[in-house]
Chain A
Amino acid sequence: MLIITRISRVLSNFQNLVALFAGACIIVSLIGILSLPLAFEENQLYPKTRLDPTSGLYPYDRGGVPFGTTEVICQYPENSPYAGYVTTYLTPLSLFLAENTLYIGTTIVAHPGGIIDEILYNTRGADTVVETSILFTAFAIASYLYRREEE
C-alpha cells in the first residue's frame, strides 16, 4: 500500500509530467532500437526517381507535358483527375530560368507548379489545411497573450 501511495504522490504532481512522458519515450525508443533492422519498402508513393543532374529542374524533374499528364504515383489517382498537371506547369519566370540555367531547380520548383506543390496543394491538400490552421491557432494564442499584457 505504501508503494502505491508513493507512486500516486509522484503521479499527482504535474511538475513530474514531462519527466514521466520523457521516460515513456525513452522506453519506446529502446524498443525501437531493439526492433532494428527495419526493412525499407522500396515501393513508395511519390518516389524520388528519375534524378537527372543535367536537367534544369534537377532534382525535381518529373517529366511530363505541360497541361498534359505526368505519372504521379499517388494513393488514389482516381480522386485527383488532374494529378500531374501542376507538376509540369512552369510559369514564364520559371520557364525562363529552367531554359537558361542549371543548378537552380529548387527555386523553379518552389515557384508555383512542381511536384511539391502538387502534393501539398492537390493530392494531400488536407494536410496543408490543417497545418496552416495549426499555425493560425498557435499564433492566435501568442497574440492574445501578448495583447492582453498590453492592455
Chain B
Amino acid sequence: MIALYVVAAIAVFAAVRAILERNTGRRFPHANVLNFAVAGSLVLLLDHPITLVAAAAYFVGSTLEANAIASTYAGGVKR
C-alpha cells in the first residue's frame, strides 16, 4: 500500500513539474517520470496479469507519444 502512495505522490510531483517547466525539451523527462509512476500505479491498483499488459500498453503508448512529439519538435528527419 505504501508503494502505491509513494508512486502516486511522485506522479503528482512529476505532473506539476511538467506543467511548470517552461522549456518544451525539458518537459519531456518530467512527463516521462509521470508515465513511469502511472504505469506502476496501474499495476499496484489492480493485481492481475492483464494489468501488466495494460501497464505496458500505456507505457509504450505514452512513450510513443513523447517520441513523436519530441521528434516533431526537433523538426523531423531531414531527407
Contact = CB atoms under 8 A, between A and B. Distances in A.
Direct contact of A and B (CB under 8 A): yes
A104 B50 CA distance: 9
Nearest to B54: A103
A81 B46 CA distance: 41
A96 to B, nearest CB: 14
B22 interface: no
Q: How many of chain B's residues touch chain A, expressed as a range?
A: under 10
Interface string A63-103: 00000000000000000000000000000000000000111
Contacts of B50: 101, 103-104
A103 B48 CA distance: 9
Contacts of A103: 46, 48, 50-51
Interface string B4-26: 00000000000000000000000
A110 to B, nearest CB: 16
B47 to A, nearest CB: 11
Interface of B: 46, 48, 50-51
Which 4 residue pairs spanning A and B have beta carbons closest together? A103-B50, A103-B48, A101-B50, A104-B50
